[in-house]
Amino acid sequence: MITTSTLIDGHEVPTIVTTTVVVGTGSAGYCAADRLVMAGHTDLIVITDKIRAGASRNAGSDKQTYYKLSLGGNAPDSVADLAATLFAGGAMDGDNALAEAANSVRCFAHLVDAGVPFPTDRFGQFIGYKTDHDPRERATSIGPYTSKSMTERLEDRVRAAGVPVIEGCRVIDLVVDRSSEESRVVGLLVMNKTTQAAEQAETEPGARFLLIRASNVVYATGGPAGIYADSVYPHGQWGATGAALRAGAPGKNLTEWQFGLASVAPRWNVSGSYMQVVPRFVSTDINGGDEREFLTEGIDDLAAQSSLVFLKGYQWPFDARKAIDGSSLIDLLVYRETVLRGRRVWLDFRANPGGGEFDVSTLSSQAQDYLRRTGVADVPADAPPVERLRRLNQAAYDFYLERGPRVDLATDRLEIAVCAQHNNGGLEVDAWWRSPLSGLYPVGEAAGAHGIYRPGGAALNSGQVGATRAAEWIARRGPQKPPDESLFTSAARAVVMPALKLVGDAHHRFTAGASDNTGQTLAEVGALMSAQAGLVRSAASVAEALRSATERLASYGSAMVIDAGSRRSVDRLFLVRDIVTTQYVYLTAMADYLAHGGNSRGSVLYTDPTGRPPVWLDADANQVDAGLDERFRFVPDDGALDGVAQIVILRPGPPPTRSTPQHAGDDPVSPQAALSMVPTVSCYWRPVRPLPAPDEPFEVVWRGYLADRNVL
């Protein structure tokens, strides 16, 4: 790593020169850095906004799952079987599925050797359990903090290797060399969020930025957490997908999200044990009064209702298929209560549903069997759900006592909502986690490696495998020195000057008397997506949200107001731009999905007035309408689009006409002219890459391995 500066149109911009930069300090980012060092590739740095922020370190559930090949018991399993399970999720590329399966044991063992305490029995078998979309018992866990432990142990290894980890870097743009036929990423422009940089920026505007000149960019920035207001992503996790999309990196399956029930404060998935002990669901007015058990409006049979709540523990993500006699009806009733009625919803572990005793014998056979085998059925019938929770999983109860704001489930209600939890789509990658935009390697949730459905915990395995594969490619086949200085300087100008202009224009409006509007805008853009393009969507709501996002993006450069003396204000200026860009592309993908005949699938219900209503089954197996209105009618997906993937590419609009941020006032731009400058989004559909079935003789594979480790 070399520290220098780059002169661009009279502005000195501090610059770090390195061969490889890893962006992100989650489990995928640290894994990539660790694997690079192990491969002998040591000219690298890791940069991040906040080291202790992010989903890997701060998100989870009562028993956060890691999905892997079975490593215990008598049940048969194989790489091919695991790959087939992953591929069966639909719209997933087969080579990614096989790579994730083939490297599962290797990556899992790496974590074990790093010190992650995955449980074994007394013979050393890694015991497993069954998770959602899992035909085996491949899942394992260390409790609520599985990904946190992974991140910490991998960080220990990276720091022990002496890799520089630089905090306070907000990604603004990718630096792309477009001088040759193949565009290539040659670095990054980030905001330097340190106090020193802010002070220097008062006399030299370029000092507030930092350029990273690097030939390989491992993009472990997480999912686009900021685009939804109702989110279980931890505070401080925003993502940086917009920067990659602006650079021309294609997105894949962007419509495919996971939504599920989560507590609001603190943000945490209320899956597993929290549902299996069957708490009361109550709603209140905005002030916490007018309490009522609203689930009864849709499911008036308490035993059926309780059985579905229990199933939410296994079937935590909303699944459109389970809105027909399934646990996802619970999500829809919560959604109606919060989003459409404007009420607050709470889990109440202080009293049983209906206010009476808890009769295990009235539940489904699956629930009865589980509660009896785990000893929960032995808890007195008149005991509240919190006592069942303590019997089943004391750590799940303790969690809310340890995290802020503190909640004692024995005395307090727990506020929840239906929240965005994970983007199964993301930036397109190949079998080595390379983007079609050369030089960029998206890993972890930033990569669109999943299909429509995935087994619970598959994301953690995917992050480790993707990071390992990207590191192997870089070490064996990637550039082994930084980009040429003159080439980089020319490419950097295309992002540095617009960034300076954006700050200068927005601050000019502040000095002219306008108020900083970054906080208000940040709240507005998230609320738009949650209301119009969240768990429940329609063609009309998506079109309206897309119109709003397009107008916001068009007017962004002329509407934002910041105090350039405030680091938070400048930070939000670029953060909101990234979010708005991402929303614009994602909403375009949703509209295109509907235009291609897409129906309700995965974790999304698309309203269709010609469709069927959500229902549940009574004791006689009769379908009972849940009483939800026309906005919840839907047509279940028939799998017609399972064999194809949707690819989207953001095409840049006309470049800005003014290259300097120094000005006496804003250039007048009509709304029509501004709209004409909004980048366009191209969408196309391609067949998924098939699931490979290699059968080369050992000697052939060995020969290739000796030649180049079969990195090709």
The more confident residue out of 658 and 352 is 352
Distances (CA, A) of 554 to 147, 311, 544: 39, 45, 15
d(CA 101, CA 118): 19
> Which residue type occupies 439?
G
634 φ, ψ to 5°? Answer: -155, 160
The arithmetic mean of pLDDT across residues 672-692, rounded, is 86
All CATH 1.20.58.100 domain ranges of the chain, comma separated, are: 497-687
d(CA 19, CA 30): 17
The residue count of the chain comes to: 712
In this structure, what is the dihedral angle of CA atoms 429, 434, 440, 444, given to the nearest 10 degrees? 60
**Is residue 675 over pLDDT 90?**
no
Q: Which residues contact 76 (CB under 8 A, 6 or more apart)?
A: none
Quickly name the fold that domain 497-687 has: Methane Monooxygenase Hydroxylase; Chain G, domain 1 (1.20.58)
Distances (CA, A) of 246 to 72, 229, 672, 694: 46, 23, 21, 37
* pLDDT tens digit sequence for 454-474: 999 999 999 999 999 999 999
pLDDT attached to residue 201: 87
* pLDDT tens digit sequence for 140-171: 999 889 999 999 999 999 999 999 999 999 99
Task: Give the H or E element holding residue 3.
Answer: strand 2-8
**What tokens does 282 get?**
């109550």
Closest CA to 467 of 150, 705, 237: 150
pLDDT attached to residue 665: 45
Percent with pLDDT over 90 in the chain: 88
Percent with pLDDT over 70 in the chain: 97
N- to C-terminal Cα separation, the chain: 28
* pLDDT tens digit sequence for 327-367: 999 999 999 999 999 999 999 999 999 999 999 999 999 99
pLDDT attached to residue 660: 44
Distances (CA, A) of 453 to 5, 86, 132, 425, 685: 46, 8, 10, 10, 18
* pLDDT tens digit sequence for 414-452: 999 999 999 999 999 999 999 999 999 999 999 999 999
* pLDDT tens digit sequence for 370-420: 999 999 999 999 999 999 999 999 989 999 999 889 999 999 999 999 999
Whose tokens are 């957490």? That residue is 225
The arithmetic mean of pLDDT across residues 682-694, rounded, is 96
pLDDT attached to residue 656: 44
Inter-axis angle of helices 27-38 and 146-160, nearest 10: 30
Within 10 angstroms of residue 673's Cβ, the number of other Cβ atoms is 11
Within 10 angstroms of residue 160's Cβ, the number of other Cβ atoms is 10
The arithmetic mean of pLDDT across residues 77-100, rounded, is 97
Within 10 angstroms of residue 408's Cβ, the number of other Cβ atoms is 13
- 8 A C-beta contact, residue 233 and residue 55: yes
**Is residue 325 over pLDDT 60?**
yes
* pLDDT tens digit sequence for 662-674: 444 455 556 666 6
Output the average pLDDT for the chain.
Answer: 93
Q: What is the Cα 27 distance to its own chain's centre?
A: 13
* pLDDT tens digit sequence for 482-525: 999 999 999 999 999 999 999 999 999 999 999 999 999 999 99
d(CA 303, CA 620): 13
pLDDT attached to residue 618: 87
d(CA 617, CA 626): 10
pLDDT attached to residue 294: 97
Q: How buried is residue 413: exposed, middle or buried, by Cβ count under 10 Å (0-12/13-18/19+)?
A: buried
pLDDT attached to residue 653: 54
pTM: 0.95
pLDDT attached to residue 427: 98
